[in-house]
Structure 1
Amino acid sequence: MPPHLAGANGGSSSAGFPRFDVATDSSDHAYLTHNKKAGSCFTNLSSGVHKKIMQEWKILEKHLPETIAVRVYENRIDLMTAAVVGAQGTPYHDGLYFFDIGFPVDYPRSPPWVHYRSFGMRINPNLYANGRVCLSLINTWSGKKNEKWNPAESTILQVLISIQALVLNEKPYYNEPGVGLWPGKPFWDKKSNAYSEDAFLLSCKTMLHLVRRPPKNFEVFVESHFRERGLAILSAMVAYKNGECRVGYYGIGGLSLVPGKGEPSEKFKAGIKQLMPQLAAAFARTGAPVGNFVEQVAGEKVASNSVEGKQNKRPAKKEKKTGGVKILFGKLKQILGLTKKKEKKAST
């Protein structure tokens, strides 16, 4: 490992987790078995491929934004893994999205390989359930010449920022081929709203997968992220279910639903009711302060934008040391109508 990268941290993200660092365990990487017959291009310090990858490491170490974290591997410099945080103002807000990256033997002449850890779900037109990432910058999608991979100028940092800004964007429906905005077309049409609803639900399902089984080397990052953002995510779910704001815009304001238009679909409401108890239980295991959340959403008439404020003002009730998560899960199921009330026996 190059001396300047020993103990590298490149700044910190969630709860002091280094945004950039060198790891050793690459056993769950999508491209682990690639490059087995690569020769010495990745181990020879004087090779052009090795030098270029080290340049990439330096760029990431210095310029990664706070919302992206990267792990490179000491014994496999041809591999790296990145975690991208979904941006506010999109249906992907507060979610975590993981990408495995591999370098071909002729890098940078050929672009890097990029695999999305999808858990079998297609959350975006450019991110397939099989992990395929469609992006002009890595030559997996059509685009203008200046949008394609340029061996002399393109970098991994550009790829990651493009995924965060251009793929996981505000209106993912319009990423579909042949679908686009034109003058006079309503900005919020039914198809776009429906796609954003589905994207948010799939993002929530992705969160469950990540909390239950985080990627190697990102265990602390995943836990601390959802410990910090868990309450906000649950509060957003209430807001969207109650039609208080458009999907993706919780906490931003100024985009309330027009009365009678754009109401959340019944399918979306049902999805929220199913996922919310599971997410609350998962976030509770990370230490997220969601204990009072059950009380705040009881009756489903509480304004969700006051949930976080009340949570911070009120001391959380102490839960029993054993079975606390189970109790929370049961209460949420009852509040959201997922359990049937026992019928009273007729008096004789």
Structure 2
Amino acid sequence: MTSEIEEILDEVDQKFKSLKRFEVVSALPDDHHFLNNRWQTFLCGLRISKIEQETQLRKRMEQECEILETNLPNSMYVQAYESRRDLMRAVVIGLKGSPYSYGLFFFDIFFPRAYPSKPPQIFHHHNYALSKMNSSLSYSYNGNNCSVLYDGLRSTWNSKTSNVLTLLKYIQDKVLMTSEIYSKDVDKEFLLSHKAMLNFLRFAPSGFEDFVKGYFRKYSHDILLKFKGKGSSNDKNEISKMFTELYNAFEMNGSYCKHLVNVLDKDVPRPSRMSSAKNA
């Protein structure tokens, strides 16, 4: 039994380590938000043939792929698709120093035929917790929605200098690090951000299953240590419950977390499931 468990753990780690930050894959995810989007026949009334438009965009997308392949930071992963070069899916990791540190933010991207004259359409691939946590990331951009993210994108997009990498960096550096989008209830913000982690571990977006498993295997200890000092919280029971759920989920995902059982302050209650996990 032990050898079987070790073999499974090694496989998860090896897959995560072998992942490329940018990759063109053959499998098109059926849960992509823009899967049914298709290029329009006309380009803003300009008399350019459909073939010429698509040729121009394909050349531009080749450039985009080259930029992503050579310049993506360690905190971003992007997939493009062989059969649909107008689609991408990206994950942006929340940086340290924000309530979203170690959090995962998935985005589906669609490049219109008018790109880069028009910015790409993006959709925050959120789950229930994330949609409550950060309303500025809850809508897809279509030029009309008003939010911190999309108003900023619309105002800063430059067809000559902007690209998908600058878009992702804008999300990470400006949106996820801007105090305007943070909830005034810090404890609630903390709980929702970690609920989102738990949900993604259970239901990873298609194509990123290996990434999610490996990522939380690697950073489970860092995430649980964020609960240290939360004894002063007004939501002690909720803090305890969330810690326990993450602890158990991380252990089921292959992390060894038993040495972190006592991270919570002494006056924070521990559910019975924690004691059973501790004695496992």
Query: Which bracket does the TM-score occupy, shorter chain normalised?
Result: 0.7 to 0.9
Q: Which has the higher helix share?
A: 2
Question: CA 1:218–1:91 in 2, change beyond 3 Å: closer, same or farther?
Answer: same
Q: By how many angstroms is 1:214 displaced?
A: 0.8
For structure 1, list consecutive stretches of 5 or more residues without a partner in the other structure.
1-12, 177-190, 244-263, 303-327, 336-348
Is the CA contact 2:241–2:271 (under 8 Å) kept in the aligned structure 1?
Answer: no
> What amino acid maps onto 2:169 in structure 1?
I
Return closer, same or farther for 1:142/1:18 CA change in 2, 3 Å cut-off: closer
Aligned to 1:71, the other structure's residue is in SS state strand
Q: Which has the higher contact order (CA 8 A, sep 6+)?
A: 2
Please tell me whether the aligned partners of residues 68 and 165 of structure 2 are also in contact (alpha carbons under 8 angstroms).
Answer: yes
Tell me the distance in 2 between the aligned counterparts of 1:207 and 1:274. Answer: 14
* AA in 1 matched with 2:220: G
CA distance in 2 between counterparts of 1:74 and 1:290 reads 40
Label 1:154 to 1:284 Cα distance change in 2 as closer, same or farther (>3 A): same
Contact 1:124 1:168 in 2 (8 A): no
State the match for 2:258 in structure 1. Answer: 291
Check the 8 A contact 1:14/1:224 in 2, yes or no: yes
In the aligned structure 2, how far is the partner of 1:62 from the partner of 1:273? 42
SS in 2 for 1:161: helix
Alignment correspondent of 1:226: 216
Contact 2:24 2:80 in 1 (8 A): yes
1:236 CA drift (Å): 0.9
SS in 2 for 1:122: helix
Is 1:126 aligned to residue 136 of structure 2? yes
Contact between 1:42 and 1:77, CA under 8 Å: does it hold in 2?
no
Q: Which residue of 2 aligns with 1:67?
A: 75
Would you say 1:155 and 2:158 are equivalent positions?
no
Q: Distance in 1 between matches of 2:51 and 2:77?
A: 25
| Residue matched to 1:272 | 239
TM-score normalised per structure 2: 0.78
Q: Which of 8, 14, 17 is matched with 1:15 structurally?
A: 17
- Letter paired with 1:101: I
Q: How many residues align?
A: 251
CA contact (8 A) 1:127 1:134 kept: no
Aligned partner letter, 1:141 = D
Q: CA deviation at 1:270?
A: 3.2
Instruction: Give the equivalent residue in structure 2 for 1:77.
Output: 85
In 1, are the aligned partners of 2:31 and 2:206 still within 8 Å (CA)?
yes
In structure 2, give the amino acid aligned to 1:20.
F
Give the match for residue 30 of structure 1. 33
- 8 Å CA contact 1:21–1:71 kept in 2: the answer is yes
Name the Cα RMSD after superposition.
3.3
Q: Which amino acid aligns with 1:242?
A: G
- Which of 66, 90, 96 is matched with 1:58 structurally? 66
Deviation at residue 14 of structure 1 after TM alignment: 5.3
Specify the code of the residue in structure 2 equivalent to 1:238.
K
Code of the residue aligned with 1:123 in structure 2: it is: M
Tell me the amino acid that sits aligned with residue 126 of structure 1.
S
Q: Partner residue of 1:312?
A: none
Q: CA deviation at 1:64?
A: 0.2
Asked whether the equivalents of residues 69 and 82 of structure 1 are also in contact (C-alpha less than 8 Å), the reply is: yes
Match of 1:345 in 2: none
Deviation at 1:27, TM superposition (A): 1.3
**Displacement after TM superposition at 1:235 (Å):** 1.6
Alignment correspondent of 1:92: 100
How far apart, in 2, do the equivalents of 1:208 and 1:222 lie?
Answer: 11
SS in 2 for 1:126: helix
User: 1:209 is matched by which residue type in structure 2?
Assistant: N
Query: Per-residue deviation at 1:62?
Result: 0.7
| Partner in structure 1 of residue 117 of structure 2 | 109
Q: Which runs of 5+ in 2 are unaligned?
A: 1-14, 43-48
Residues 162-311 of structure 1: pairs in structure 2 closer than 5 A: 162-169=170-177, 172=179, 174-175=180-181, 192=184, 194=185, 196-239=186-229, 241-243=230-232, 264=233, 266-267=234-235, 269-294=236-261, 296-297=262-263, 300=266
Residue 148 of structure 1, CA deviation: 2.4
TM-score normalised to the size of structure 1?
0.64
> Shift of residue 74 of structure 1?
0.6
Distance in 2 between residues matched to 1:112 and 1:25, nearest whole Å: 19
- Give the Cα–Cα distance (whole angstroms) in 2 for the partners of residues 42 and 214 of structure 1: 36
Retained in 1: the 8 A contact 2:78–2:90? yes
